[in-house]
Amino acid sequence: MASEFKCNAPSCSTLLGERVCLISCGHALCAEHGKEWFSSHQTCPICNRQVNVTSANFSKKYINERKRIALIGFNPSEILESAGVGLEFWQAQKNLEVSQVKNLASQRENVYREKVKQTEQAFYATQQGYLELKDHYKQLAMQFQHLQQQNTQLTQENQQLKSNMRSPQVFDPPSNRKIFALGEQESNFSTNKLFSGISFDTGSKPFKRPFTPHASSLFTPSKLNSS
Ligand SMILES: [Zn+2]
Ligand SMILES: [Zn+2]
């Protein structure tokens, strides 16, 4: 069973057990971190002091077996000195644990603050985007309304034009007016009006009405003979 102490390496939280790297400054590492660090260093990785290293056994089983006889043979001053060293080690370890917890809390607080800041920025950006979209929508709605009005107006004009085209009294293309005018100049035949709806290629000559039984009474035999 392991002790209540943890390896002092910052990234390690292994509970110290049978194989402990005990450092003379009062710090301690698990066997793995101790071997790794002290193969190339002579300073403590926590306090950076020049140190000596001894191996120790922190397991509860070993301590329970040893605690009754550990200080046997020591005189009172040596017993007090040894107890003092043990208490100092315990206090240093607890201080280190507290400072590690504080650091962790501080790091988490910074992460939290940063996330709050990012969330706030994202919120403001979203809000800004929403307002821009709202504005854009307003403009589009106005344009749509304007187009709708134009469409209504054009539909009305279109209906009016269709209605005009269906009505012969109103529909009077310029070509008819020209023919009619020529007919009026050349003759007084009221029958010219009968052809006002038909376009004839008369060239430079004025249009002459063909003979029809309908209008035959208007021609005199002398006129027919002379032509
Ligand atoms: Zn470790
Ligand atoms: Zn140290």
Q: Find the 2 Cα to ligand 1 centroid distance in Å.
A: 13
Tokens of 99: 């400072």
**Dihedral angle sign, alpha carbons of residues 13, 16, 21, 22:** positive
Distance 146 CA to ligand 1 centre (A): 76
In this prediction the pTM is 0.52
Q: What CATH number belongs to 1-70? A: 3.30.40.10
Q: How far is the CA of 88 from the centre of ligand 1 (A)?
A: 21
pLDDT values of the chain reduced to their tens digit, one per residue, 227 residues: 778 899 999 889 899 999 999 999 999 999 999 999 999 999 999 999 999 999 999 999 999 999 999 999 999 999 999 999 999 999 999 999 999 889 989 999 999 999 999 999 999 999 999 999 999 999 999 999 999 999 999 999 999 999 998 876 655 566 666 655 555 555 555 555 555 555 555 555 565 656 555 555 555 555 555 44
Query: Minimum-distance ligand to the CA of 15?
Result: 1
Q: How far is the CA of 48 from the centre of ligand 2 (A)?
A: 6
Distance 19 CA to ligand 2 centre (A): 18
20 exposed, middle or buried (CB, 10 Å; 0-12, 13-18, 19+)?
buried
**Boundaries of every domain in the chain:** 1-70, 75-166, 172-204
> Relative to the alpha carbon of 8, which ligand is closest?
1
Per-residue model confidence as pLDDT tens digits over 118-168: 999 999 999 999 999 999 999 999 999 999 999 999 999 999 999 998 876
CB atoms within 10 A of CB 82: 13
Taking the CA of 92 as reference, the closest ligand is: 2
